[in-house]
Amino acid sequence: MILQTKRNPRCMVNEPSQNLQTAKPKTQEEPLDKPPTVLRCVTGAVISALFSVGLYMLTTSIHQTLDATPIVSDNYLTVRISTLVRSLVIGMGALGTITFSVTTLGLIGLALQLLIKGQPATSDK
């Protein structure tokens, strides 16, 4: 006995998408991405700095909470695993903080480089 399933007309996995058939291929005149500008660099640096400060505050809050909460167990393996999990949670927060901090510094450096060298002239066609 073969079970027949009802096909959903909205979900056509086997057929090509309508959007792919009507998509225009990009030509050489259309740039794939916009060149960096000072305003875009500074805006990105501010957003990245906000994420960095937020993650720093979250990481310190988690650290203080975990520091105030002792591990209560007589089992050696339980104590080791809970210590490992605590270290991993704090480490992930610190990794995010460092990543966004370095991104902020890089964007500020790029903005300074664009200011010193001068922005390249863009031609609008």
Within-domain flag for 14:
no
Within-domain flag for 122:
no
Of 109, 113, 111, 107, give the one whose Cα is nearest residue 49. 107
What's the mean pLDDT when you consider all of the chain?
83
pLDDT digits (tens, 9 = 90+) for 80-117: 999 999 999 999 999 999 999 999 999 999 999 999 98
Q: Can you give the residue range of the structural domain that contains 103?
A: 35-117
Q: 3 vs 113, which has greater pLDDT?
A: 113
Within-domain flag for 24:
no
Tell me what pLDDT residue 18 has: 55
pLDDT level of residue 125 (50, 70, 90 thresholds)? very low
Within-domain flag for 47:
yes
pTM here is 0.65
Structural domain tally of the chain?
1
Within-domain flag for 101:
yes
Within-domain flag for 66:
yes
Within-domain flag for 25:
no
Within-domain flag for 60:
yes
**Maximum pairwise Cα distance, the chain:** 76
